[in-house]
């Protein structure tokens, strides 16, 4: 019996091997294709950190590509059953790093039907005309793979060696084409179907997100009758949206966000696209009311209309849209109430209505959206008083933003167990006067808490249970007592702590250093005493330290000089004292952008070496066209400094903004010549000290300077004539010194008034009434070239907010509110986590979240 059974097993075994042999022999791959694949593999190095792939290790392991083995059995390779030609190559996320040359052996695989090379790094290779050789290609995926250069348009044919090559837009069998996320690609959209040229007519899926196609969206797109998914987000397109889009009856995804569609309205023909599931028209300058035909698109699950100019009330459109998953109407000019018909959306997870002018009260139907996880009603004109726990009815809520919504929140009935899933809670300016109970219980989820601009006046110890907090903003309350030491113990997690403008007293806990993730610490405008905690020297990630407006008594914190990320130090208005000694290290404060030590009691001469190592302030190479802001996960940092004679809050600190403020101290001696090395400085303030000697000539090298204040010192000598070359100078003050001689003329110096020079007994010439005794031959002054001024350090109406000695704008770590902030594309990009159904095999249901990068 045992024998029989094992014999039977043996037979089965042999049978299987036979079948296996037969099937694999049917698959034996062609030699030349095997060679081509091996060569292709050899032409790359493997560097996963160079690729955008988040799935590492790769899905396919191409280590098993070995000479002498059947290439049809190799990972990622598919062969035709009958001809054995290689028809599929899937190397998505394989850490390939290197160039695709025109002679690449890839182009010998002419039978390819599926080619997926997405999420590798092709080191700025072009999409070569050779791709036009793959005439059987039905699926081409080259997303996020560092391709660059122009895409050849469909009209040209290119002579390559002995063969004509066509553009990829000529591949007649193409059904899916995805080139998204290659930001360096440029080109012109093809005329999709033009007379007899019927290439691309089988296209079902076209994703060209982020490619720079300057031009119009051709009307011919309406002829791609099989098109189901169209992604043209952020493609630099302009002009009108063609009405022919209404012909694309199979369309389920229409994504045209962030183009310059300036026609104001969009065609109602989109209302005929009954199969539409995802509609993205954000950031396109549309105006008018929200179109009613949206109500016809009953299959919608995502609708993005944010960052447009839509006005009027939100129509009662979406009742009983059973699929609707996300509504984003934020950043428009919508008015009127939240529609009560917003009920009956069982699948709604995301509702963004922030930054509009929505008024009225919260309809009770809102709380029937039981599956809601994200709710943003911030920055509106609602008028209602609501118990915070009412929102806890939405038991899956992970993110709630009611900041500046106009709502007043009571927390008297809050229970310890509410909001069990909350991760992000933003309740700035909500008239809250008591910390809600649920924040006092242990919580391992809460990541971000913003209770700024309320009326809290308790002690903070109850918050010590919020272990997982990364962002804590309690600024502008009346919180009192000591800063709890536990805040320093949220180690590993806390990166931002903003306690400015409260009533904290006592000394700063010595525990902050343990919170080595800390990037921003703002404890300014309190009543803190004592010394700065030396433990801060351990915060290697610290970028921003603001301890201004307290009663700290300490020497200059030279021990911070090694912190490699430190960009902003504000020590303003304390009782800090003593001399600033020479740096201990050769490289000190190398990354500093802003240092404000004003209104203290520092003495002695300035050590010249510090200015010699502040490399960031010397660097003027940052790209002005793509302005960067100092951003933190949830917003932008803001800092208040003196600039141009005003106290200004820079709500978004442009990284090119560099400033030094040592005013109101007791420094003496000469101004170090080395100051002239800080070529990138925008603001320099040495006023109200005891500096002696001449104005250093090296200041002429500070060519970006917009504000120079040397007033109320004991400077002597003449004002260097060469300073007229500082053509961005808007504020110049040397009043109350001991300067002599002729005031320079020409350029910006024609614009300064006599107050800039007051209190210098021996200055003469324009604009003072005192004539010079030995007038030089009057040079015809060259006038300032005001029309062509291109201030580097600021953007008009964008970035700067003058706040006259106050807190008018409610700047809260840059999450600045209402009119004060222009949150734009970047934030939208963070929000629009693109949920993309990915193709093929095991990945068919993969949901891809991309933050920031697009
Ligand atoms: C891998 O790529 C990263 C990022 O481009 C680069 O910094 C690194 O030097 C590369 N490593 C190798 C071994 O080439
Ligand atoms: C090739 O074989 C696979 C399974 O062995 C089968 O699913 C597929 O239909 C075949 N393709 C062709 C073109 O015969
Ligand atoms: C990427 O391109 C640069 C310049 O074209 C070249 O110096 C570098 O070696 C290339 N890297 C790889 C991995 O091919
Ligand atoms: C392909 O061309 C590149 C330069 O264009 C060269 O470095 C490389 O050796 C060539 N490869 C083959 C296989 O001819
Ligand atoms: C021309 O195309 C054929 C296949 O279409 C290919 O085998 C050959 O290598 C190409 N020649 C050149 C010079 O690119
Ligand atoms: C069709 O293509 C020709 C060039 O081949 C071009 O001049 C013409 O404008 C195109 N027509 C349309 C409608 O795009
Ligand atoms: C919307 O649907 C209604 C009724 O089905 C129809 O009368 C109307 O024409 C449709 N609007 C659009 C723009 O398709
Ligand atoms: C919440 O969503 C789930 C699926 O995500 C669904 O099954 C459930 O019915 C929804 N809840 C309600 C009340 O519709
Ligand atoms: C809301 O605003 C509109 C105009 O924008 C106004 O007519 C209406 O009275 C306001 N409603 C409330 C409740 O304030
Ligand atoms: C940081 O947060 C995680 C949860 O996100 C938590 O498990 C961990 O204990 C926290 N770390 C500390 C030191 O509290
Ligand atoms: C300005 O900078 C240049 C180069 O850094 C230097 O050679 C020159 O001496 C400086 N000018 C003055 C007046 O210090
Ligand atoms: C002003 O400078 C002159 C020399 O230029 C000097 O004699 C005088 O003492 C200075 N006055 C003050 C108040 O420093």
pLDDT band at 681 (very low <50, low <70, confident <90, very high): confident
292 C-beta closer than 6 A to ligand 12: no
Locus of tokens 């008297």: 412
What distance in angstroms lies between residue 44's CA and the mean position of ligand 3's atoms? 11
The pTM score is: 0.81
The pLDDT, as a whole number, for residue 52 is: 84
What is the distance between the alpha carbons of residues 544 and 542, in angstroms, rounded to a whole number? 6
The pLDDT, as a whole number, for residue 400 is: 96
Give the residue whose CA is nearest to atom 2 of ligand 11: 701
Compute the C-alpha angle 166/169/170, nearest 5°.
50
Which atom of ligand 9 sits closest to the CA of residue 336?
1
Distances (CA, A) of 641 to 552, 657, 802: 19, 12, 10
Give the residue whose CA is nearest to atom 7 of ligand 6: 155
155 C-beta closer than 6 A to ligand 6: yes
Closest CA to 494 of 545, 457, 447: 447
Give tens-digit pLDDT for 636-669: 556 666 655 566 655 555 566 788 999 999 999 9
The pLDDT, as a whole number, for residue 188 is: 80
Mutation probe of ligand 8 site: the residue of 321, 367, 371 with most atoms within 8 A of C-beta: 371
The pLDDT, as a whole number, for residue 620 is: 62
What distance in angstroms lies between residue 292's CA and the mean position of ligand 11's atoms? 65
Lowest mean pLDDT among 103-107, 190-194, 718-722: 190-194
What is the distance between the alpha carbons of residues 93 and 841, in angstroms, rounded to a whole number? 14
The pLDDT, as a whole number, for residue 422 is: 94
The pLDDT, as a whole number, for residue 843 is: 26
244 C-beta closer than 6 A to ligand 6: no
The pLDDT, as a whole number, for residue 193 is: 63
> What letter does residue 29 receive in the DSSP assignment?
P
Whether the pLDDT of residue 327 is over 90: the answer is yes
47 C-beta closer than 6 A to ligand 1: yes
Which sign, positive or negative, has the C-alpha torsion 654, 660, 663, 666?
positive
Give the residue whose CA is nearest to atom 4 of ligand 1: 50
β partners of residue 280: 255, 304
Give tens-digit pLDDT for 583-607: 777 778 888 888 999 999 999 998 8
What is the distance between the alpha carbons of residues 852 and 850, in angstroms, rounded to a whole number? 7
722 C-beta closer than 6 A to ligand 11: no
Give the residue whose CA is nearest to atom 11 of ligand 3: 98
pLDDT band at 182 (very low <50, low <70, confident <90, very high): very high
The pLDDT, as a whole number, for residue 688 is: 95
What distance in angstroms lies between residue 460's CA and the mean position of ligand 10's atoms? 19
Which atom of ligand 7 sits closest to the CA of residue 293?
13
Residues 6+ away with beta carbon under 8 Å from 31: none
The pLDDT, as a whole number, for residue 49 is: 86
Mean of pLDDT values over 328-337: 95
Lowest mean pLDDT among 41-55, 386-400, 628-642, 665-679: 628-642
Give tens-digit pLDDT for 409-464: 999 888 888 999 999 999 999 999 999 999 988 888 999 999 999 999 998 888 88
The number of the ligand nearest the C-alpha atom of 465 reads 10
Give SS3 for 658.
coil
Q: Which of the two residues, 557 and 513, has the higher pLDDT score?
A: 557
700 C-beta closer than 6 A to ligand 11: yes
pLDDT band at 277 (very low <50, low <70, confident <90, very high): very high
Mean of pLDDT values over 56-85: 86
Query: How many helical (H) and strand (E) elements, i.e. helices and strands, does the chain have?
Result: 6, 57
Number of Cα atoms under 13 Å in the Cβ half of residue 29: 27
Residues 6+ away with beta carbon under 8 Å from 625: none
754 C-beta closer than 6 A to ligand 12: no
835 C-beta closer than 6 A to ligand 11: no
Which sign, positive or negative, has the C-alpha torsion 297, 301, 302, 303?
positive
The pLDDT, as a whole number, for residue 814 is: 26
The pLDDT, as a whole number, for residue 625 is: 42
Mean of pLDDT values over 497-504: 93
What distance in angstroms lies between residue 221's CA and the mean position of ligand 7's atoms? 23
Tell me the three-class secondary structure of 292-360, residue by residue. HHHHHCCCCCEEECCCCEEEEECCCCCCCCCCCCEEECCCCEEECCCCHHHCCCCCCCEEECCCCCCEE
363 C-beta closer than 6 A to ligand 8: no
Whether the pLDDT of residue 258 is over 90: the answer is no
Mean of pLDDT values over 333-359: 91
Give tens-digit pLDDT for 231-253: 999 888 888 888 899 999 999 99
What distance in angstroms lies between residue 169's CA and the mean position of ligand 6's atoms? 14
Share of the chain above pLDDT 70, in %: 79
What distance in angstroms lies between residue 440's CA and the mean position of ligand 10's atoms? 16
Give tens-digit pLDDT for 283-326: 888 889 999 889 889 999 999 999 899 999 998 877 778 899 99
Give the residue whose CA is nearest to atom 10 of ligand 10: 468
The pLDDT, as a whole number, for residue 516 is: 77
370 C-beta closer than 6 A to ligand 8: yes
Q: Which of the two residues, 705 and 612, has the higher pLDDT score?
A: 705
The pLDDT, as a whole number, for residue 547 is: 94
Share of the chain above pLDDT 90, in %: 46
Burial label for 493, CB within 10 Å (0-12, 13-18, 19+), is middle
The pLDDT, as a whole number, for residue 20 is: 46
Which atom of ligand 5 sits closest to the CA of residue 130?
14
Q: Which of the two residues, 224 and 800, has the higher pLDDT score?
A: 224
What distance in angstroms lies between residue 741's CA and the mean position of ligand 12's atoms? 13
99 C-beta closer than 6 A to ligand 1: no
Is the CB of residue 681 less than 8 Å from the CB of residue 704? Answer: yes
Whether the pLDDT of residue 107 is over 70: the answer is yes
Which atom of ligand 7 sits closest to the CA of residue 269?
13
Mean of pLDDT values over 48-64: 76
The pLDDT, as a whole number, for residue 649 is: 59
Classify strands 157-160 and 184-187 as parallel, antiparallel or unpaired.
Answer: unpaired
Mutation probe of ligand 7 site: the residue of 265, 291, 296 with most atoms within 8 A of C-beta: 296
Mean of pLDDT values over 696-713: 92
716 C-beta closer than 6 A to ligand 12: yes
Which atom of ligand 12 sits closest to the CA of residue 738?
1
Whether the pLDDT of residue 847 is over 80: the answer is no
101 C-beta closer than 6 A to ligand 4: yes
9 C-beta closer than 6 A to ligand 1: no
322 C-beta closer than 6 A to ligand 8: no
24 C-beta closer than 6 A to ligand 1: no
Which segments within 624-781 are labelled E, that is strand? 631-632, 635-636, 639-643, 646-650, 659-661, 666-670, 683-685, 690-693, 707-709, 714-718, 731-733, 738-742, 762-764
Q: Which domains are seen in the chain, by residue range?
A: 29-123 (3.80.10.10), 555-781+827-839 (3.80.10.10)
The number of the ligand nearest the C-alpha atom of 696 reads 11
Residue 732 tokens, joined: 């110049």
Most confident of 63-67, 607-611, 644-648: 63-67
The number of the ligand nearest the C-alpha atom of 36 reads 4
What distance in angstroms lies between residue 82's CA and the mean position of ligand 2's atoms? 9
pLDDT band at 491 (very low <50, low <70, confident <90, very high): low
In whole numbers, what is the pLDDT of the chain averaged over residues? 81
What distance in angstroms lies between residue 203's CA and the mean position of ligand 6's atoms? 19
714 C-beta closer than 6 A to ligand 12: yes
Give tens-digit pLDDT for 728-753: 888 899 999 999 999 998 888 888 88
pLDDT band at 397 (very low <50, low <70, confident <90, very high): very high
Burial label for 845, CB within 10 Å (0-12, 13-18, 19+), is exposed
Give the residue whose CA is nearest to atom 14 of ligand 5: 161
pLDDT band at 835 (very low <50, low <70, confident <90, very high): very low
Residue 204 tokens, joined: 């079902």
The pLDDT, as a whole number, for residue 346 is: 87
Lowest mean pLDDT among 149-163, 359-373, 513-527, 667-681: 149-163
């Amino acid at each position: 019996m045992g024998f029989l059974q094992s014999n039977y097993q043996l037979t089965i075994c042999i049978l299987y091997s036979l079948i296996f042999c037969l099937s694999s022999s049917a698959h034996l791959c062609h030699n030349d294709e095997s060679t081509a694949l091996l060569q292709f593999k050899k032409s790359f190095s493997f560097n996963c950190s160079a690729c955008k792939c988040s799935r590492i290790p790769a899905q396919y392991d191409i280590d098993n590509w070995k000479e002498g083995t059947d290439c049809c059995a190799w990972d990622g390779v598919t062969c035709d059953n009958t001809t054995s030609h290689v028809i599929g190559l899937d190397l998505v996320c394989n850490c390939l790093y290197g160039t695709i040359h025109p002679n690449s052996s890839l182009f010998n695989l002419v039978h390819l039907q599926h080619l997926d090379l997405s999420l590798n790094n092709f080191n700025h290779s072009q999409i070569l005309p050779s791709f036009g050789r793959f005439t059987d290609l039905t699926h081409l995926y080259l997303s996020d793979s560092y391709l660059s250069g122009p895409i050849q348009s469909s009209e040209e044919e290119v002579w390559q060696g002995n063969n004509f090559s066509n553009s990829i837009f000529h591949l007649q069998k193409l059904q899916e084409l995805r080139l998204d996320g290659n930001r360096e690609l440029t080109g012109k959209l093809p005329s999709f179907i033009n007379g007899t040229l019927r290439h691309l007519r089988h296209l079902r899926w076209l994703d060209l997100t982020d490619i720079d196609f300057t031009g119009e969206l051709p009307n011919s797109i309406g002829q791609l009758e099989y098109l189901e998914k169209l992604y043209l987000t952020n493609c630099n397109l302009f002009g009108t949206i063609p009405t022919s889009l209404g012909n694309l009856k199979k369309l389920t995804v229409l994504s045209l966000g962030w183009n310059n569609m300036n026609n104001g309205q969009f065609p109602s023909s989109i209302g005929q696209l009954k199969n539409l599931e995802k509609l993205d028209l954000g950031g396109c300058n549309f105006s008018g009311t929200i179109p009613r035909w949206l109500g016809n698109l009953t299959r919608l699950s995502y609708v993005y209309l944010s960052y447009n100019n839509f006005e009027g009330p939100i129509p009662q459109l979406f009742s009983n849209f059973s699929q609707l998953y996300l509504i984003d109407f934020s950043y428009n000019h919508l008015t009127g109430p939240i529609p009560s018909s917003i009920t009956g959306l069982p699948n709604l997870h995301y509702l963004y209505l922030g930054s509009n002018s929505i008024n009225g009260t919260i309809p009770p139907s809102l709380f029937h959206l039981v599956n809601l996880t994200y709710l943003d009603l911030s920055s509106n004109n609602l008028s209602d008083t609501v118990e915070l726990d009412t929102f806890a009815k939405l038991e899956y809520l992970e993110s709630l933003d009611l900041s500046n919504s106009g709502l007043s929140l009571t927390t008297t009935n809050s229970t310890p167990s509410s909001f069990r899933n909350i991760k992000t809670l933003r309740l700035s300016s909500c008239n809250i006067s008591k910390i809600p109970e649920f924040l006092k219980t242990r919580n391992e989820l809460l990541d971000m808490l913003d209770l700024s601009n309320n009326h809290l006046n308790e002690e903070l110890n109850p918050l010590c249970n919020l272990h997982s907090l990364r962002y804590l903003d309690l600024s502008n309350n009346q919180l009192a007592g000591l800063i709890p030491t536990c805040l320093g113990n949220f180690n590993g997690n806390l990166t931002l702590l903003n306690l400015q403008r409260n009533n904290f007293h006592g000394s700063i806990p010595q525990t902050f250093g343990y919170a080595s993730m800390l990037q921003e610490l703002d404890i300014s405008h309190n009543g803190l005493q004592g010394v700065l905690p030396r433990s801060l020297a351990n915060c290697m990630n610290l970028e921003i330290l603001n301890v201004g407006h307290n009663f700290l008594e300490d020497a200059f914190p030279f021990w911070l000089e090694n912190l490699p990320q430190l960009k902003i130090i504000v020590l303003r208005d304390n009782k800090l004292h003593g001399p600033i000694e020479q740096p201990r290290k050769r490289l000190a404060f190398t990354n500093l952008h802003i240092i404000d030590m004003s209104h203290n009691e520092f003495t002695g001469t300035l050590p010249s070496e510090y200015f010699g190592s502040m490399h960031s302030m010397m660097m003027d190479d940052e790209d002005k066209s793509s302005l960067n802001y100092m951003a933190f996960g949830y917003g932008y940092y803001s800092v208040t400094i003196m600039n141009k004679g005003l106290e200004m809050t820079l709500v978004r600190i442009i990284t090119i903004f560099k400033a030094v403020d040592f005013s109101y101290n007791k420094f003496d001696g000469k101004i170090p010549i080395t100051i002239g090395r800080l070529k990138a400085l925008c603001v320099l303030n040495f006023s109200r000290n005891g500096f002696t000697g001449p104005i250093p000539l090296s200041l002429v090298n500070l060519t970006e300077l917009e504000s120079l204040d040397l007033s109320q010192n004991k400077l002597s000598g003449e004002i260097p004539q060469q300073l007229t070359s500082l053509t961005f100078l808007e504020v110049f003050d040397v009043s109350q010194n001991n300067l002599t001689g002729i005031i320079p003329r020409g350029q910006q110096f024609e614009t300064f008034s006599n107050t800039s020079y007051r209190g210098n007994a021996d200055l003469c010439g324009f604009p003072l009434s005192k004539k010079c005794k030995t007038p030089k031959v009057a040079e015809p002054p060259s006038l300032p070239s005001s029309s062509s001024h291109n201030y580097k350090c600021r953007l008009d109406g964008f970035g700067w907010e003058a706040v006259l000695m106050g807190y008018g704008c409610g700047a809260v770590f840059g999450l600045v509110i209402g009119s004060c902030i222009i949150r734009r594309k970047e934030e939208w990009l963070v929000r629009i986590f693109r949920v993309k159904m990915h193709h093929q095999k095991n990945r068919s249901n993969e949901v891809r979240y991309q933050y920031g990068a697009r």
